[in-house]
Structure 1
Amino acid sequence: MRLVEDLKVLAQKSGFQKLLGVRLVSQCGDGMLQAGLASLFFFSPESATDAAGVASALVVMLLPFSIVGPFTGPFLDRWRRRQVLVFGNLLRAVLVVGVILALEVFGEGLPVYILVLVALGISRFMLSGLSAGLPMVVGSKEHLLMANSVVPTLGGIATGVGAVIGFLLRLFIPEGEAQQSASLVIAALLFFASSFVARALGPDELGPEKPDLTSSLSGQVSAAAMDLVKAVRYLVRRGTPGLALSTMALHRFVYGMQLITIILAGRNLLVDSTDANAGLAAFGTLMAAMTIGHFGAVLLTPIAHERMAPSTWIVVCLLGGTVGQIIIVISPAQIPFVIGLFIFGIGVQGAKIAVDTIVQTDTADAYRGRAFSIYDVLFNVAECVAAGISIIFLPNTGWSRPVQIFLIVFVWVVALSYRRVVRMLNNVPREVEDPDLI
């Protein structure tokens, strides 16, 4: 199997082994955390069950990081990324423990929301650090292509495994405080473990190549805005990475609409809306189908990269993913939903792998951390826009044939527009002779 062969090649690099270990443990904790938050915000008996309530909860979790997130990238280009992983995961563990205690003292209120927002913001920061550090432990472009096919998807699978375990805990633990906090407790333990694993990496092993260890924190914060302006202008001038990021941000809007659709369908369409546990099980089934699709992408993408450029694979994945959306259009029953989301999941993850590769290979290391921070912010903003649109156009059951048809047409327009502009660039990044003076 191609996946096994790629892993054997990459596994010979000790730095890669350690970074992969950090990612798997950390993202399994992410899945447990997401399962706990989904149970709390979407599938508890007292949670909102309409489109406005679900969309509002997603915006609360995503929008604040979209505002402050751009300022994390410059830190990834200044601070030792290994230290970011060590102390960031440690802080996440402490914050999740804080969420558990706040639920005991205050219930589902403002203190819980604040702690959740900070914890999720750091989670995005960790993912940006993992992506920015990957080229430092992989080496050649050929190996980086393999790593981008394997690592993010394995991380996504680890997130899915953590989420499934969290959902199962909710279903099988008797109602009470233990049911509400079990997945959060395990998430905190996994974040502690991830911090410990990150300590095995060398202090400078993940870069940046020229870390700024002398500037004061206030100086770093004051320089962040200008650095981000330079990074955005650099990505636009460079061409291929900026175009790939823009395309995936637009596709993330579609993903956000599908995410809200399956939350509402799991809660209100496929089961009795008064049965929160059954709703959680239905939602878990739909998410599992999409996660398995992500795993399918890791099998197909290395084969595709041998036959076509990453930019071409992006177009293939976007258009291919609409086959799954067409199946969802045909019927709102659970089996078509599952099949459609599986195919859609392949397209989402396959395109993401290719975008990761383009951003990593076509972006200078000095800007790579900021590029992935901008990447995450664009994704979050796109999902927030999807949440706002869903309030207007999605019914409380989540499924709407006209909305699904619009999303299919939207993806086709995005994919074909991306293909046209990439051809105008001859699929080659522009030279930026002096990026510091942009």
Structure 2
Amino acid sequence: MHEEDLDGTHRPGHSPSGSPVARLGRMSAGVGRAMGRGVGRGGTAAFSGARRFTHSGGAGESGLARLLELHAFNTAGDAAVAISLAGTLFFTVPTDEASGQVALFLVLTMLPFAVVAPLIGPFLDRFRRGRRWAIGATLAARAFCCWVLAGAVSGDQTSPTFFVAALGCLVASKAYGVTRAAAVPRILPSDFTLVKANSRISLTGTAAAAISAPLAGLAALIGAPWSLRYAALLFTVGTVLAILLPARVDSSEGEEHVDLADLADPTRDETRRPGIVITHAVVNGLRSNAGLRLLSGFLTIFLAFRLREPPDSVGWSADPTLLLGLVIGGAGVGNILGVLLGNGLKSRLPERVVIAVLVLDVAAMTVIGVAFTWWTAVILGLTVGLCQSLGKLSLDALIQRDVLENVRTSMFARSETLLQLSWVTGGLIGIGLFTVGASPRLGLLAVAAILIGWLAFVLSRASEAPEPRVDRR
């Protein structure tokens, strides 16, 4: 190499500006700067688009945008925890041993939650500043449990510390659903319905989980503790956002409180409890959603184990993890389609829609149970995701239409409690059928029979119910 003198000669040590090496250096620097600008613009555009979505329609002013943001961190953290536990508890031990451990998880999750869940709503009713701190507590508890799990996951996964920390994550996750549901009616923008608000919450959560899952997977490649530490960070941010929710989330001015007995025995008059009116349409909508959520819990657990080592009859010879991903992906697509359809249907005859989706779920379970293959499993996941999403949005529409505003917040908390318990019940049925060695077809048909009986009960009650009232707001 040469350095060019003033007279045009070259000296060793430098390259002329027009040499191939110099040109290559300038091109590389230019490409790097262009890529940097592109990534920066893409990130800025994505952030701006997300912010417009969460803050549009008055959501920024009402405080709903802050709830959307903390829900995004919640679902992102849950996705990271699911990947971490799947990589340690589920896929790294023999199938029989894994089923026993997960069965213990579910039992330990259901029993404490069954005791605590009915107390969450009354606790929030009693303390005016309960909701923000209760939501934040569920996120903070998971942040702490994930940090503890990160230390325990590399050791003995049957140790009490591992089980207790995992139990804490699962219970706190379900408690979050109850506490968040109670907060939504308090921060609705003036032109928002509950259906629209919960649709936006659902889409935000789905997008956050889709973004977080690959990041958690990359962290898990370094080591399982790192994906759990990543989850702990997400929950910590969510805790701060929960505390920063508007103060009106805690306000209970003018509110009345619904008991679980009001849901078991609906009445159209106020003779039993003045000011408390829960219509038959709302209770039937809740019953239909309980069936949908039970099916979701069953499939989540049962298919997770059955497709871990797919039998020959399924017709799948590739990686089982990929098959599970297809089924879960189908459920995610179904959930998004349900949100879009729910927004399109608005609140038209929600009492019929909520029963129709239960009928569709039962029919799909029965047909696919008879002809179960890997591709029908994907269709089943899509159908269940679609029906669960539409069913929940229809229940929201019923609550907004038929439930007086003074009990609407409490109604959301109580209904979400029952739906969470329905999911756990379905999970227990799934692990029970797997434990006794039920094949995919037998398992699906067994639960289809249970749901047919439940559907008959819902239809019989619906036929007895009087016509629902119109707009009760």
Q: TM-score normalised by the shorter chain: which range applies?
A: 0.7 to 0.9
Aligned pairs (5 A) from 1:8-407: 8-9=56-57, 11=59, 13-46=61-94, 48=96, 54-77=102-125, 78-80=127-129, 81-104=131-154, 107-139=157-189, 143-159=193-209, 161-163=211-213, 165-167=215-217, 169-170=219-220, 173=221, 178-202=222-246, 204-210=247-253, 231-235=259-263, 236-237=265-266, 238-240=278-280, 241-269=282-310, 278-306=319-347, 308-326=348-366, 328-359=368-399, 362-363=402-403, 371-390=411-430, 393-394=433-434, 399-407=439-447
TM superposition shift of 1:201: 2.4
* Matched-pair contact (CA < 8 Å) for 1:70–1:370: no
Amino acid at match of 2:306: A
Q: 1: CA distance between counterparts of 2:99 and 2:137?
A: 37
Cα deviation for residue 144 of structure 1 reads 2.0
Q: Which range moves more in the overlay, 351-360 or 366-375?
A: 366-375
- Whichever residue aligns with residue 100 of structure 1, its letter is A
Between the aligned partners of 1:286 and 1:168, the Cα distance in structure 2 is 21
Identity %: 21
Q: Residues 25 and 193 of structure 1 are in contact (CA less than 8 Å); yes or no, is this contact kept in structure 2?
A: yes
Structure of higher CA gyration radius = 2
- Distance in 2 (alpha carbons) for counterparts of 1:110 and 1:429: 53
List per-residue Cα deviations over 1:317-341 (Å, max 9, x = no partner): 2222345435532543322211221
Structure 1 position 22, deviation (Å): 1.2
Question: Judging changes above 3 Å, is the alpha-carbon distance between structure 1 residues 165 and 358 closer, same or farther for their aligned structure 2 residues?
Answer: farther
Q: Which runs of 5 or more structure 1 residues have no equivalent in the other structure?
A: 213-226, 272-276, 431-438
Worse-superposed segment, 13-22 or 79-88? 79-88
- TM-aligned CA deviation for residue 148 of structure 1: 2.6
SS in structure 1 at match of 2:223: helix
Partner of 2:4: none
Q: Give yes or no for contact 2:181–2:416 (8 Å, CA) kept in 1.
A: no
Q: CA deviation at 1:181?
A: 1.9
Task: Give the distance between the partners of 2:343 and 2:72, measured in 1 at CA.
Answer: 20
- How much does 1:390 deviate? 3.9
Going from structure 1 to structure 2, the CA distance change for 1:168 and 1:100 (only over 3 Å counts) comes to closer
Letter of the structure 1 residue corresponding to residue 173 of structure 2: S
Once residues 140 and 417 of structure 1 are traced to their aligned partners in structure 2, the CA distance between those partners, rounded to angstroms, is 38
The AA in structure 2 aligned to 1:69 is A
Query: Cα gap change, 1:397/1:328 in structure 2, threshold over 3 Å: closer, same or farther?
Result: farther
- TM-score, structure 1 length as denominator? 0.78
Residue 421 (structure 1) aligned with residue 438 (structure 2): no
- CA distance, structure 2, for counterparts of residue 395 and residue 88 of structure 1: 31
Kept after mapping to 2: 8 A contact 1:49/1:396: no
Cα drift, residue 13 of structure 1: 4.1
Q: Distance in 1 between matches of 2:346 and 2:423?
A: 28
Distance in 1 separating the partners of 2:369 and 2:96: 26
The structure-2 alpha-carbon separation of the partners of 1:121 and 1:6, relative to structure 1 and needing over 3 Å to count, comes to closer
Measured against aligned partners, the alpha-carbon deviations of 1:62-89 in whole angstroms (never above 9, x if no partner) come to: 3322222221112222242223333442
Partner Cα separation in structure 1 for residue 254 and residue 392 of structure 2: 28
SS in 2 for 1:90: helix
After superposition, the C-alpha distances for 1:221-276 in whole angstroms (9 at most, x for unaligned) are xxxxxx99x611233332344333333223322222222221113312169xxxxx
Aligned-pair CA distance for 1:20: 1.0
Q: Deviations over 1:319-366 (max 9, x none)?
A: 223454355325433222112211221012211222244346545566
Relative to 1, partners in 2 of residues 1:56 and 1:375: Cα closer, same or farther, differing over 3 Å? farther
Of stretches 60-69 and 161-170 in structure 1, the one that deviates more from structure 2 is 161-170
> Cα distance 1:100–1:48, how it changes in 2: closer, same or farther (>3 A)?
farther
- Cα deviation for residue 94 of structure 1 reads 1.9
- On the 8 A contact 1:29/1:187 being kept in 2, the answer is yes
Residues 41 and 47 in structure 1, CA contact (< 8 A), matched pair in contact too: no
Taking the aligned partners of 1:420 and 1:5, their CA distance within structure 2 comes to 42
Going from structure 1 to structure 2, the CA distance change for 1:163 and 1:96 (only over 3 Å counts) comes to same
2: CA distance between counterparts of 1:407 and 1:139?
40
Aligned partners of 2:54 and 2:136: how far apart in 1?
27
Once the two structures are TM-superposed, the CA of residue 402 in structure 1 deviates from its matched residue by 3.8
Contact 1:49–1:267 (CA under 8 A) maintained in structure 2: no
- In 1, the alpha carbon distance for the partners of 2:203 and 2:286 equals 18
3-state DSSP class of the match of 1:267? coil
Contact 2:290/2:418 (8 A) holds in 1 = yes
Distance in 2, matches of 1:39 and 1:233, equals 42
Which region of structure 1 is more displaced relative to structure 2, 383-392 or 244-253?
383-392
> In the alignment, which residue of structure 2 is the partner of 1:435?
none
Aligned partners of 2:87 and 2:224 also within 8 Å: yes
**Unmatched tracts of structure 2, length 5 or more:** 1-51, 267-277, 313-317
Identify the range of structure 1 (53-62 vs 330-339) with the bigger mean alpha-carbon deviation: 53-62
SS at match of 1:205: helix
- 1:191-239 CA distances to partner (integer Å, 9 max, x unpaired)? 111123234422x221332499xxxxxxxxxxxxxx99x6112333323
Mapped partners of 1:75, 1:429: distance in 2: 31
